[in-house]
Amino acid sequence: MAFSNAPTELINCHKRTIEVDEEQKQNQFLQWARLILPWLTPGELANVSLTCRTLSQISKSITLSRSLDASRSVENFPIPFHNAADKTPYAYFIYTPSQIIPPPCPAQFPPRQFWASTNAAADAESNSSLSRLGFDSVSLVCESDESESGCDCEECFEVGLGDGVFGCPCFSGLEDVGIVSECGPSCGCGSECGNRLTQRGISVRLKIVRSVNKGWGLYADQFIKQGQFICELLTTKEARRRQQIYDGLASSPRNSSALLVIREHLPSGKACLRMNIDATRIGNIARFINHSCDGGNLSTTLVRSSGSILPRLCFFASKDIKEGEELAFSYGEIRARPRGLPCYCGSTSCFGILPSENT
């Protein structure tokens, strides 16, 4: 009897083996999908979602997580996208929380970044790849090729304390020429130092909202007091060549650049340092701050950290900002192209076109 049932048992065993193999293959497929899909652009993600129900569900999950936080969980608060104007769930770009200098060869420029989870630990690991993909930081070095050290203070003070004790040397007194000095990476003080106000990330709640005319814009998601630090606009090179490309694409509503030219007049008064800030493809949430012809509600300040060659352009609230109010500043006064892009700032002093410059 037992012998006569053997073929049936073998068949059932074979079916169970096939089911186990299929389950293992399915799990492997899901692991592969969750590893690969977060690196895809929105267009690629949309194409993949059409192939099967499983990939469609994973793609929708990735799209939702991206819309919930533009910063990939590297900032102190999530910065969500809100869009009631059309069906675009989020703006795709490479996020970096710190100032970067791209490599000289454009081919080495990283075109992708992992963006899926709102889990801080997972994103911290994935976003650390940004520093491994060819970006370099810049600091001052002495003649022996060693990094120029900052202060040795345990606590930093701006003024002399008497009894032969002087304030932190990182306070260089450049405020008169519009530059604020802060402690740098080589200083002895820690991250809680009072002279590192702009180095602790974004400390106010913000959101990115899309409108019909202006596209994406940055808005306050809480009350912000006058003088509070908002964020910084991150610096890169090569803007002249890029601006020629952006000018050619300006007529298309799907293409908008985020390129800004900053000139720092050095203390001697005999020289000017020009910085080309381009956050079109790589940057942080400051890339969404729109122009206002009346100056807006933000002020810009150049902040130089001890030991750094390039200063950072930081935004502070120039007045009290209400929750739900758009953040804006003036891009400049020069309008080199009379037929430039239209301005939709809505202020009473609107010029009708955005500022522009011959780069």
Domain of residue 261: give its range. 169-329
32 belongs to a structural domain: yes
Domain count, the chain: 2
User: Which token pair is 316?
Assistant: 């502070």
Same domain, 324 and 186: yes
CA dist., res. 284 & res. 287, Å (int): 6
CA dist., res. 236 & res. 240, Å (int): 11
pLDDT confidence of residue 305: 81
Q: 236-259: per-residue pLDDT in tens?
A: 444 444 444 444 444 444 445 445
CA dist., res. 324 & res. 222, Å (int): 7
Q: 143-173: per-residue pLDDT in tens?
A: 444 445 567 776 777 655 555 455 677 766 5
pTM (two decimals): 0.75
81 belongs to a structural domain: no
Question: Using an 8 Å Cβ cutoff, are 212 and 85 in contact?
Answer: yes
Same domain, 55 and 174: no
Same domain, 55 and 176: no
Same domain, 47 and 186: no
State whether residue 55 is helix, strand or coil: helix
CA 220 distance to own-chain centroid: 17
150 belongs to a structural domain: no
357 belongs to a structural domain: no
Instruction: From 120, 199, 192, 102, select the one nearest 156 (Cα to Cα).
Output: 192
Q: 169-199: per-residue pLDDT in tens?
A: 776 655 554 678 888 877 878 777 878 888 8
Q: 97-140: per-residue pLDDT in tens?
A: 876 655 555 555 557 889 987 453 344 444 444 433 333 444 44
* DSSP per-residue letters across 218-230: EEESS-B-TT-EE
126 belongs to a structural domain: no
Instruction: From 269, 271, 261, 275, select the one nearest 308 (Cα to Cα).
Output: 275
